[in-house]
Structure 1
Amino acid sequence: MKLKAIVHFFLLLPIMLLTGQSLKVEPYEFISRSKDTVQAELGSFKVLEDRNNESLDSIQLSFVRFKSTNPNPGSPIVYLSGGPGGSGIGTAKGKRFSLFMNLREVADVIAFDQRGTGMSTRLLECPYTASFELSKAIDKQEYVDKSTENITKCLAFWQEKNVNLGAYNTTENAKDIEALRNVLKVEKISLWGISYGSHLAFEYIRLFEDNIDKVVLASLEGPNETIKLPENTANFIFQIAEKATANYGADITYPNLKEKMLAVHGRLEKSPVISTYVNRQGRIDTVGISNFELQSAIATFYLKNPEDSKIVPRLYDQMYHGNFTEIAPNVMILKKYIYSRIRPMAFSMDMQSGISQDRKRIMKRQIDDAILGSTINFLQFEWMQTTNFRQLPKQFRKMKPNKVDALLLSGTMDGRTYVSSAIELAKKFKNGRHIIIENAGHDLYMQSPLVSETVLAFFKENEIGTNRIKLKPILFE
């Protein structure tokens, strides 16, 4: 028996050495995109790429740590970027830099690059792309067929190159966060995230609730909400039409906009258009626009934040009168870049998060009747039917009640993740507070000092006296 124990120990030793590898930390001069400079630390450690098999292949995970200015710092605050595919380190260089700096008053703040992103080990990009005729209006089925064919080629390429795409899922991602906590040698961590970062945080809560101090999450994407429901998107764009009727009392108003929206899509369904526009080089480009392509352009470029949706009424008014010039460049981008290729980390994360059978049935009922179809999801829902890419187990998509001390934030002008869904998710947090921010969009953290001040107050355990914040609306143009 003793001999068997010794043998077992030595069989496990390589894995123990790898997963317990000491943290490497070095001084790092962090420079934001606005050229702000702060002294920080660049950390890295290794984890098994796939914890579900006996392979010893490992990947490096990287982060930047901003040391706390508090002489008695709390649990480290780990930032979880959206996407999937966003870089935490990259995010810290952008508009949220000041919030990263302010949170140092509470604890060390860690900008974490999830597996496959940023300064962590990256996946090999697929060399193949799908090709769509630019001057022809293309229907949905052609996009599904050609993109699925391209995915099949990419999957074969990654298999040939021994890329373990299946290891890039949200459960493994959550276990990476736990590995980070272990190498930092701290009892608990706090999480701060947005969009897919909230989706990832929900999985960490499911697996490691007892290891969490506090959580701040915005623009919530639940465990079963990788695929957004078409009716929610339709309700959002009709909300824009309703608000544009009076346009907050401005001189420019858009009465009957809902009817114009429906009319534009109805016409395109019967008769696609060809539009020209002047490109950035000053030359004339020609692009075909089908109803599916218009749906995709609106969902992709104009619903995320009020800064985007402020021109939606004008666009539909123009298109109602036959002018597609302003939206044509974004349709061109869709054809050339967005539908033509896939990014491995983002593709695998989303596909494996998957969709429940009940939600799939709802999708199939709603998809053909909703004004924008399912284009808020690009073609992910269709790919889940055509590629048979593996999904995480059913329990992954079930949100159980928890006791995490949480602050949850939602914007009423967020056209990517919806307040109605967030209200249901918030009910699972017994010790959570859900604040609805009127007139805020998806990227809500820096849309008002009131939001960042609320986040800081929560981490400082100061009293937050409201469940609703009202921002000044952005007028429709």
Structure 2
Amino acid sequence: MPENRSHRGGGRTVRLAVAIIPAASAPPAGDPVVFMEGGPGGDAFDSIPFLIASGVNRDNDLIVMAQRGTLHSRPNLACPEIDRFNVKAVGLRYDAPSTGRLLVRAAKECRDRLAAEGIDLGAYNTTENAADFAALRGALGIDRWNVYGYSYGTNLALTYLRSHPEGIRSVAIDSIAPPPVVNLPWTWDSAGEGISEIFAACEAQPACKKRYPHLRRTLDEQVRRLEEHPLTLTARPPSGGKPVKVDLDGGALINILVANTVKAVDVPAALEELAHGNPTRFAQARALDVGTVVGAFAHGLTQSVACAEWAPGFGEDDILKAGRRNFPGWPDTVLAQPPQLPFEHHVCDVWNVPDRTAIQRVPTFSRVPALLLSGTFDAKTGASWARVAARTLPRSTSVRIPGIGHWVVPQSPCAASVLASFLARPTAPDTGCVAGLKPRPFTIIP
């Protein structure tokens, strides 16, 4: 594919890896499913086992393409510099300026290295990404196909549907990030919604309510306490190995909750244990990054998209306002950093790609049948954002799965069933299994 389609008459090209997984049934349905990975920067091929286990290829051939810049494509925009920082960062204050400076230095080293290789980092954006998928359909000679994306893949799928609507039979989007609203303050709104839903679900279960009657107050107290007096301890990474030094402050605590590295069903118990001097669950979750596979994630694609499409137009004051709106009374040192994207404005200063918000923050108006899947416990892409996307998709079906976090289909047999029904009948999917679904019982400690 052309690296930058705005360059007429040639220029650099990129190579994109594609896998085709045959349908489990024979003969397969006539219209395959193409998958769009999240991130941005995730390894799409790593998701294939989850897609197969969820039955996405039950009746349809499944096509998986590694997006431009990711692990199996060329060039690969991996940033070992950032991976090594992440390994080190588990032992540092999450939101300390000194930590931010180390992150920015790592990002600059990666950016300088990629640019020295002649890579046009501004070309690694959602518009070009969508055009790659349109070209793939033509290259494979497919008349019509179905699109399924999750997380950033929903942003990409909606951009693709808007820019290249031809040949799209249906679109399923899971854990939704609508292009018009994705920005850095938005991350606090999603965090506030997902965490509030976990607490409300505990309140609705008598045993959980009785054992953990003041969850929101407990969280507020622990964030403030840890931010003032961080804990430095050792923890064994979940993957095993030697214990490592871990720093647990308020910013680290909230990001563990957003990342769901402490399972939602364990969150009330983990907060109660933390309040009584036992930080083990959170410390082990903080140690997770020690197991990072260096080079597996394409941080270069993440930053090229985030700095061109998400960061511009909103300053640090906007992030603080969003944080205060969702978590009033928390320290500003915590609220100044958008969940999952700490120090992003400073990183973008050195990443230096053109502002693409005028092109990207655009709603998708389409009558193509759409399925919108959300998990109520999702603190990365809050479930309510499905309503934003649905406003301009008049032939859409929205489904909320109680008690599920980010990327719904692999976690919910009901959601997988709904997706299969949608692929068979996009205008009339069977959503009957959703009625009566409730979150799993929360962990109750003695």
Identity of aligned residues (%): 24
What are the superposed Cα offsets for residues 101-134 of structure 1, whole Å, 9 maximum, x if unpaired?
3132xxx331222222353324154453548576
- Whichever residue aligns with residue 166 of structure 1, its letter is G
Matches within 5 A, 1:286-297: 286-297=245-256
SS of the residue 1:48 aligns to: coil
1:115 paired to 2:64: no
Q: In the alignment, which residue of structure 1 is the partner of 2:14?
A: 59
Q: Structure 2: any 5+ residue segments left out of the alignment?
A: none
Higher strand share: 1
1:199 paired to 2:139: no
372, 385, 398: which one aligns with 1:421: 385
Residues 53, 296 of structure 1: CA spacing in aligned structure 2 closer, same or farther, 3 A cutoff?
same
Check the 8 A contact 1:351/1:380 in 2, yes or no: no
Q: In the alignment, which residue of structure 1 is the partner of 2:4?
A: 50
- Whichever residue aligns with residue 290 of structure 1, its letter is D
- 1:167 Cα deviation from its structure 2 partner: 1.9
SS of the residue 2:247 aligns to: strand
- Whichever residue aligns with residue 197 of structure 2, its letter is Q
Q: In the alignment, which residue of structure 2 is the partner of 1:408?
A: 372
Matches within 5 A, 1:279-428: 285-302=244-261, 308-334=263-289, 343-355=299-311, 357=313, 362-367=318-323, 370=327, 373=335, 374-379=337-342, 381-383=344-346, 386-387=349-350, 388-428=352-392
- 1:174 Cα deviation from its structure 2 partner: 0.2
SS of the residue 1:172 aligns to: helix
Check the 8 A contact 1:287/1:332 in 2, yes or no: yes
**What RMSD in Å do the two structures reach over aligned CA positions?**
3.3
Q: In 2, distance between residues paired with 1:134 and 1:452?
A: 35
Q: In the alignment, which residue of structure 2 is the partner of 1:23?
A: none
1:464 paired to 2:429: yes
- Whichever residue aligns with residue 145 of structure 2, its letter is I
Instruction: Please identify, of 63-72 and 399-408, the stretch whose mean Cα deviation from structure 2 is larger.
Output: 63-72
- 1:312 Cα deviation from its structure 2 partner: 1.1
Determine which structure has greater relative contact order: mean sequence separation of CA pairs < 8 Å that are 6+ residues apart, divided by chain length: 2
Q: Structure 1: any 5+ residue segments left out of the alignment?
A: 1-46
Q: In the alignment, which residue of structure 1 is the partner of 2:182?
A: 225
- 1:191 Cα deviation from its structure 2 partner: 0.6
Q: In the alignment, which residue of structure 2 is the partner of 1:430?
A: 394
What are the superposed Cα offsets for residues 380-427 of structure 1, whole Å, 9 maximum, x if unpaired?
643466434333241311114221211111111222211211112111
- 1:159 Cα deviation from its structure 2 partner: 1.6
Check the 8 A contact 1:137/1:288 in 2, yes or no: yes
Residues 420, 70 of structure 1: CA spacing in aligned structure 2 closer, same or farther, 3 A cutoff?
same
Q: In 2, distance between residues paired with 1:87 and 1:98?
A: 18
Check the 8 A contact 1:82/1:197 in 2, yes or no: yes
Q: In the alignment, which residue of structure 2 is the partner of 1:244?
A: 202
- Whichever residue aligns with residue 219 of structure 1, its letter is S
Q: In 2, distance between residues paired with 1:256 and 1:90?
A: 39
Q: In 2, distance between residues paired with 1:112 and 1:323?
A: 44
TM-score, with structure 2 as normaliser: 0.83
Q: In the alignment, which residue of structure 2 is the partner of 1:84?
A: 40
- Whichever residue aligns with residue 4 of structure 2, its letter is D
SS of the residue 2:278 aligns to: coil
Residues 237, 450 of structure 1: CA spacing in aligned structure 2 closer, same or farther, 3 A cutoff?
closer
- 1:253 Cα deviation from its structure 2 partner: 2.6
Check the 8 A contact 1:62/1:112 in 2, yes or no: yes
TM-score, with structure 1 as normaliser: 0.78
| Higher alpha-carbon Rg | 1
Residues 382, 299 of structure 1: CA spacing in aligned structure 2 closer, same or farther, 3 A cutoff?
farther
